[in-house]
Structure 1
């Protein structure tokens, strides 16, 4: 499976596509082969325990934090985007409050913020594409 991932990532790189596309295609192919649950659990453990943390470390390494402080417009946008993020999570919470108790609603709100990792990954790819 790791050979398949490496081959497809190399192929996507040689075609000028993002590496993540090759890894995604490898996952689709593995899914089509109907892997057993143990293999899927091992891949999950390896991905979440090793590869994904490395990705976020590299995003942090590539981040030029000083560039954020140089542009005053960006300093204004950061809190505005953070507030917009919170508001976008609060709207479903207020809607769910009609049917569920506050404990479940707050828990749901925290689960909604877990998609931040996807936003970071998408932003990284977008930044690399220009």
Structure 2
């Protein structure tokens, strides 16, 4: 059985091992459950009651797995502020015709994910 590692820009072929690993982590699952709207790492840290450094590590893991998208907003003074948004609705794992595991990551149909992936101005 092979898991295959997609290229970082191939969002149509999720990495099964990265997804399973991220979802096996309590902190990552906790973050996904509170990301109903775009939040900063600091906002997330407060909501899940975990240190900011831990929150960043979990967000990196979720982003690498393709489960969370980092968006960048621009505030007055040209300071950038990242927000994170969950970018999936369902993960399905099954056997393909070739006997390998297949993973299907159903992306969010919520148009706000697309909106938040654009640069925002906050005044």
TM-score over 0.5 (shorter chain) = no
The higher relative CO (CA closer than 8 Å, separation ≥ 6) is in 2
TM-score category, normalised to shorter length: under 0.3
Instruction: Provide TM-score, normalisation by structure 1.
Output: 0.23
* Structure with greater proportional strand content: 2
Q: TM-score when scaled to structure 2? A: 0.24
